[in-house]
Amino acid sequence: MGIHIKSILGSLAFSYLFYTKSFGLNTLLLSILVLVFLFICRKQRPLPWGYSLPYLFTAVMVFMDPTAFKICLHFMAFFILIGKYIAPTSSLYLSWFIGVVNMIIASLVKLNNHINQPRSQRKVLSKKRIDYIKGIIIAFLLLILFALLYQKANPIFDGLIQQIDLNFISAPWLLFTLFGYIMFVNILNPYNPKELLALDQQKANELKHPEQLFTIPILEKLKSEQTLGSIVLSSLNLLLILFLVTDIIYLFQADPISNAGYSKSVHQGVYALMFSIVCAIIIILFLFRGHLNFYKGNKRLKKLTYFWIGLNVILVFFTLYKNFQYIDALGFTYKRIGVFVYLLLTLSGLITVYIKVASLRGFIYLIRTNITVVFGLLLLSASIPWDRAITWYNLENIEHPDISYLMNLGDTNSEQLYRYIHTPNRETILHKDTFKEIEKRYAQFLSIQRERTWQEYTAFQIRSPRRK
């Protein structure tokens, strides 16, 4: 089966699953189809199983809970899969870029290369195949013409033609199907940006040791940078020590902290982290960008760097503790979850900066490692139905949960809120308007779920078949 036939079949499946449909079961089915096609073409390129599984995992998560975040992550995993399929050894960020390029401009690039290619080197169709294509096109046009003529001459034939329903063929449908065809052509016959891949492979994670001995002017410059860096990092370390001491006093004071105090305390810690880490990382990357890594007199500067990293790790855990207190008092919100995500990424950044300085790694190492960590954290977070998880925690553990906030989340928590208001004694706590709004929201949710076609089915339809 040729690439174009596979692409036509793929485009028809794509159109059937997604045209005028929302995301659901169709996402999972199309993902399986893409992997099957890539597996069939494995003789040309091996299928990257290590990135096929995350792609399939995100499709399952979209089927389970099709939020905007999970849909975007699914597309990200798809682009990375295509990039790794084209260039298995490329960095993760470059794989994503290659995948995006292939889905957007690969066809134009390949067409331009074909036009500019010498005529003798072009792949031309055989005369027999060209005759087949011409014959099919001419026969199709003549069939339409003579069918219209015969339709006017014979009432029975006219009735037969009238029964043929071609309403599904429309300009938007044709464009949508054409997009699917182009997508599958680019998947099965991708464009390989060899220049970018060669440039990426030239960038090693490790720094190269200078081949020549340092001259006196270079040594003087390194001593100057060592002195300057030591003064700057010492100042930052003293400032951070002062902040941590005051933070400990504030955290363990006897007086209870108000809700506003919780918020201010957590945000202060996050802002301190952002300012301290961004400034100091820029300084460290500048200082340890080249020869200073191999200068024998850099031990003091390295110790100050490690000390700064250790202080920031302490600050990360203090901020984590304050955020836990904040959630224990007021419940989960997306912003408070975002604080956890930021702190985890900060911890990853601190660890990689330490490895960069201690193991003589380059800046590209930081980019490659931290992008991989971010992608892994996004995959992990996709496994959690956040709207329902936030709602469950706040309703179960907070004495007076913020119902208005929960109602502003996605509609997947409608059933939880509906059950919550119908538990005993809720009438005396909640306002009547809140009851009506939640019941209306739940009814609208059920109505939307019932109207979904099978392509749009999610885990809700599988879990609650009686409500289809």
Domain range annotation of the chain: 1-205, 216-361, 389-467
Report yes or no: 456 and 21 within 8 Å, Cβ to Cβ.
Answer: yes
Measured distance CA(269)–CA(280) in Å, rounded? 16
d(CA 432, CA 278) in angstroms, rounded, equals 49
Q: What would the pLDDT profile of 109-160 be if each residue is shown by its tens digit? A: 554 444 444 555 445 555 666 666 667 778 777 777 777 677 666 677 777 7
Of 453 and 211, the structure prediction assigns the larger pLDDT to 453
On whether the CB atoms of residues 371 and 356 are closer than 8 A, the answer is: no
Q: Tens digits of per-residue pLDDT, 346-360?
A: 889 889 989 988 888
pLDDT at 59 over 90: yes
Integer Cα distance of 403 and 406 in angstroms: 5
At 422, the pLDDT band (50, 70, 90 cuts) reads confident
Q: What is the pLDDT of residue 443?
A: 92
Mean pLDDT, residues 446-457: 89
Q: pLDDT tens, 241-282?
A: 888 888 787 777 645 555 556 666 666 667 777 777 777 778
Task: For the beta carbon of residue 410, count every other beta carbon within 10 angstroms.
Answer: 18
When the pLDDT of each residue in the chain is averaged and rounded to a whole number, the result is: 80
More confident position, 129 or 227: 227
Confidence of residue 213 (pLDDT cuts 50, 70, 90): low
Supply the pLDDT for residue 460: 85
Instruction: Quote the pLDDT of residue 115.
Output: 45
Q: Where is pLDDT greater, at 440 or 108?
A: 440
Mean pLDDT of 28-50: 86
Q: Over 70: is that where the pLDDT of 466 sits? A: no
Using N-to-C axis directions, what is the helix angle for 432-450 and 414-421, rounded to 10°?
140
State how far the Cα of 323 lies from the Cα of 328, in Å rounded to an integer: 8
Tell me, what's the pLDDT at 229? 82
Q: Residue 98: its pLDDT value, please?
A: 85
